[in-house]
Amino acid sequence: MATKNRFDTEAFFAALDAQRTAQRLTWKDVAGRTGLSASTLTRIGQGRRPDVDGLASLLAWSGLEAESFIPGNGRSRPATLAAISTSLRSDPLLSPQSAETLERIVAAAYEQLRGAEADPEEEART
């Protein structure tokens, strides 16, 4: 199987952690809500891929989509900033003004870091 089609466990765990943090839960809480053991969650955090049933439970709990963690899967996806903007503006915990402020902060940081990593030689010339 080509590497590009492997499940990105590290990105998946980071997204799970963000969801857990947003809900102000502990990993023990997540284990209880998903029916998985805490040790299974620890192993995923260490880079082990979850089994199919564990993956299904975590996807159902988190609302994440598995295909988001398969690089090069051939499916089109929205630009990163578009996805972030959509998420921020649909977050019921944020006022429209707060969402807009966060969107501007993230966009500025993204552009700065994307430019620095995309072409270091061009960065040095400016």
Residue spans of the chain under pLDDT 50: 1-2, 120-126
Tell me the pTM: 0.63
Predicted confidence at residue 2, as pLDDT, reads 44
CA–CA separation, 40 and 9 (whole Å): 13
Q: CB-hemisphere CA count at 13 Å for 68?
A: 16
pLDDT at position 81 is: 83
> 121: burial class by Cβ within 10 Å (0-12, 13-18, 19+)?
exposed
Q: Which of 118, 113, 114, 91 is nearest to 102 (CA)?
A: 91
**pLDDT given at position 112:** 86
